[in-house]
Amino acid sequence: MTHIVTVGFASDGKLNKSLFELIGAAKSFENTELSVVAVGSTIDTNELVGYGVKKVYVVDGLSEYQPESYLNAVLKGLDALKADIILLSGDSIGRELGPRLAIRKGFSLFSDVIKLKETNQGLVVTKPVYGGKAEAEFLNKGETAVVLLRPKAHDKALKSDDVAVEIEKVTFEASGFDGLVRIIEKLKDEGEGVKLEDAKIIVAGGRGVGSKENFSYLEELALVLGGSVGASRAAVDAGWVSTTLQIGQTGSIVAPDLYIAVGISGATQHMAGVSAAKHIVAINTDAEAPIFSFAEYGIVDDYNVILPVLTEKLREILS
C-alpha cells in the first residue's frame, strides 16, 4: 500500500484548485491510501468530501503565505503521518517549499513532473529537460519521494457522490511567524484583468513583435476578445513587457481555449507553458518557425498588417 500525501494551501480559507489535480494524479495509482495536508486559515475540509481522501491534517492559523512558517507548517502536518509519496503543485509556492521539504525529510525530489507511475522497480516520473527539448524518465531509487507536478498537466479529480467517506480531521495550531523572511507588500503590476492561468483567450507576443509600443496591437486584440496578453521570455528579456506576463516552463503555465502566438518563434521552453491550450493560432513572417509545428492554424505574414484587420473584423462580429 502506497501512502500518497497531497499538500494543499488555503491562505484565504479556500483550498487551491491545483490540489484537485494532485488528487487526480494520485488516483491513477492502484492500492493507495490518500491523505491531505492543508495549510492556511479557516480551512473548510468539506470541499474534500467525495474525493477518496481518508485523512486531512489541517495546520490552521496561517492567513498569509510566508515561506518559512508555511514550510514548518507542512512539516508539522507530515510528521503526523508516514508518507511514501508527497505531491505538491509546481506553482510558485510548491517550487519554493518542495525542495526544502524533500531535504528535511530525506526524500528524493522530482520537479516539473508531467507523468508519474508505479512500476515493479518503484516510482517512475517523466519530466521535460533541456528546456523542454527532450523528456526524461527517472526511476526513484529511494523508498520515498516529493513530487512537484507541473500545473495543468493532470486533470482535476472527479467528485463521486455515492460514497460519503468520513474524513478524519486533525487540526494543529500554527506556531506563527518566525520572522526570517517576511513578505511586506504586494506590488502593483501593469497586468490587469484576468489572470493568465485562468484566461480563456490569450494573445501572446515574442521577439518578433519588435518593441514595447507594438504590444498595443496585441492589447487591442485581447481587449476585443475579452482575453489577456502574454509574452515569451524573449519579449520579457528585451524589456518590452513585465515578467509577470511570461508564459512557459519558467513563467505561467496556461490552458486557454484559444492561444494566438504573435511573432513567437516557438522555443520549446515557451511551448511547455501552452501545451494545454485547446487551439493555437500562429502569426509569423517566417514560415519555417518552429511555432508552426505546434499551431493548428498558421498565417505567414506581418502581424502589424494582420492584427489590425483581425481586431476590426472581430469587433464587428462580437459587438
Instruction: Scan residues 121-160 and list those touching other proteins (CB under 8 A).
Output: 124, 127-142
**Minimum CB distance to other proteins, residue 186 (Å):** 5
Taking the C-alpha atoms of residue 268 and residue 281, their distance in angstroms, rounded to an integer, is 16
Q: Does 313 bind other proteins (CB under 8 A)?
A: yes
Beta bridge partners of 110: 147
Q: Does 294 bind other proteins (CB under 8 A)?
A: yes
- φ/ψ of 121, rounded to 5, equals -80, -20
Q: Does 319 bind other proteins (CB under 8 A)?
A: no
**Residue (32 or 244) nearer to other proteins, CB:** 244
β-pairing, 108-113 vs 145-149, is: parallel
**Minimum CB distance to other proteins, residue 28 (Å):** 19
Among 165, 182, 193, 211, binds other proteins (CB under 8 A): 182
**Residue (1 or 287) nearer to other proteins, CB:** 287
Segment lying near other proteins (by CB under 8 A), choices 19-27, 42-50, 154-162, 287-295 = 287-295
Q: Residues 264 to 283: which contact other proteins by CB under 8 A?
A: 267-269, 278-282
**Residue (57 or 292) nearer to other proteins, CB:** 292
Q: Does 91 bind other proteins (CB under 8 A)?
A: yes
Q: What is the dihedral of CA 55, 59, 63, 69, to 10 degrees?
A: -130
Which phi-psi region, left, alpha or beta, contains residue 235 (left: φ > 0; alpha: ψ -120 to 50)? alpha
> CB burial class (10 A; 0-12, 13-18, 19+) of residue 306?
middle
**Residue (45 or 72) nearer to other proteins, CB:** 72
Cβ neighbours, 10 Å, residue 82: 11
**Residue (165 or 314) nearer to other proteins, CB:** 314
> CB burial class (10 A; 0-12, 13-18, 19+) of residue 152?
buried
Q: All 3 cell numbers of residue 194?
A: 484576468
Q: What separation, in Å, do the N-terminal and C-terminal C-alpha atoms of the chain show? A: 57
**Residue (25 or 102) nearer to other proteins, CB:** 102
**Minimum CB distance to other proteins, residue 258 (Å):** 5
**Minimum CB distance to other proteins, residue 132 (Å):** 8
Contact by Cβ (8 Å): 254, 202? yes
Among 1, 163, 164, 184, binds other proteins (CB under 8 A): 184
Q: Does 61 bind other proteins (CB under 8 A)?
A: no
Longest Cα–Cα distance of the chain, Å, equals: 61
